[in-house]
Structure 1
Amino acid sequence: MSFLQRRIAATAVLAALALPVLAQPAPPAPPAAGASASPARKPGDMQERRQAHMAQRTNALKAQLKLTPEQEPAWNAFTAAMQPTERPARLDRADMEKLTTPERIDRMRALRAQHAAEADRRGEATKTFYATLTPEQQKTFDSQTHRMRRMGGPRGDWGHGEPGHRGMRGGNMPMGGGQPAR
């Protein structure tokens, strides 16, 4: 195939991919003056939705486990341990540029150590709770938390973390896992 034929084929493929976009209906017109548009999202909205989503999933897991009254204190300790802790202050880009390379490396090591300590704390809380479950409940816990991790998308958590961020940044994975901080 000659260079010209490859270019024509590539152009045809790109044109074919663009057709569905052209076939979509036009976006709605902006609201008229005086008409109320949808409210602008506030910065706290995402955090509130994330917390509501986590509460919903936690409640569903609790219902599926069918906990006994004797297991309630262990559940409460487990869910309390899964709550995000206060995040350390972060240096912004300008502050990071002021540091020397060895200082930046040390800063990143300290952050990784904090994240690892949080993951270890959550992992131990999970193991402690898991030990209180019956074998049937353990099967349910295993299948549901594994499914939650898969459905969590790139974050792989229970609805915590930063959008599009991989790993455990402030997140709560019941298995105490997640990818290491980068």
Structure 2
Amino acid sequence: MISLRQRIVWASLLGSAALASSGAFAQAPAAPATSSAPAAAVAQADAAAPKAQHKRMDPAQRMERMERMQEHRAKRLAALKEKLKLTSAQEGAWTSFTSATQPPAGARPQRMDRAEFAKLTTPERLERMQARQAERSARFAKRAEATKTFYATLTPEQQKTFDAEPVHAGMHGHRGHRGGHGPEHSAAPAKS
């Protein structure tokens, strides 16, 4: 994504190049004016554009958001269950699937404070990041296995219905809407 500062710099460079090539400034020396114009534009952009600050939600907002997401997930799962027209024999598999794909209870794992993270050595930072990645991979493997197990209990017609649903309908918790919504994001679970 191009920042406001970069846009202003590019616009001023393109504008000065267009004016110089059109001959409008053929009589006046353009070099001193053009070299200071981008610097002035950049300085003005820095002063005008407020610095983007990442604000963390307070605990009450975080809890409210988590509740909304859980309600939304419950509605999506209820709609999926209705579309699948599950039999009573499949209810146990459905319950196992929904509980295994449930996002972790409570808030997501607390991140280390940026100041504390900055004090770590590079190998220590890498170890922390690797541990978090391993946790995410383990959670995904659990969801994937539960989905495959549930998928195996479905009839071919139900499998087609399940395949037509976006992946985030049942597999993802709070990260479900981060990706796109196109066909590349609604691939069917892998068959064992």
1:143 to 2:164 alignment:
yes
Taking a change above 3 Å as real, the CA distance of residues 176 and 122 of structure 1, as seen in their structure-2 partners, is farther
Query: Which ranges of structure 2 fall in alignment gaps of 5 or more residues?
Result: 1-14, 23-59, 180-185
C-alpha displacement of 1:47: 1.3
Taking a change above 3 Å as real, the CA distance of residues 162 and 57 of structure 1, as seen in their structure-2 partners, is closer
Higher helix share: 2
Q: Equivalences for 1:23-172 in 2 at 5 Å? A: 42-86=61-105, 87-146=108-167, 148=169, 158=172, 160-161=174-175
Q: How many residues align?
A: 130
* Contact persistence 1:120–1:176 (CA under 8 A): no
Q: Secondary structure at the match of 1:110?
A: helix
RMSD of aligned Cα (Å): 3.4
> 2 CA distance for matches of 1:144 and 1:85?
23
Q: Secondary structure at the match of 1:113?
A: helix
> 2 CA distance for matches of 1:175 and 1:143?
8
> 1 CA distance for matches of 2:187 and 2:143?
7
- Partner of 1:4 in structure 2? 19
Structure with bigger gyration radius:
2
Query: Segments of 4+ in structure 1 off by > 4 A?
Result: 146-149, 173-177
> 2 CA distance for matches of 1:42 and 1:126?
31
Aligned amino acid, residue 48 of structure 1: E
Residue deviations 1:2-50, cap 9 Å, x none? 722999xxxxxxxxxxxxxxxxxxxxxxxxxxxxxxxxx8432211111
Taking a change above 3 Å as real, the CA distance of residues 146 and 81 of structure 1, as seen in their structure-2 partners, is closer
Residue deviations 1:47-94, cap 9 Å, x none? 111111111000000000000000000000000001112543421201
Identity %: 48
Q: Secondary structure at the match of 1:161?
A: coil
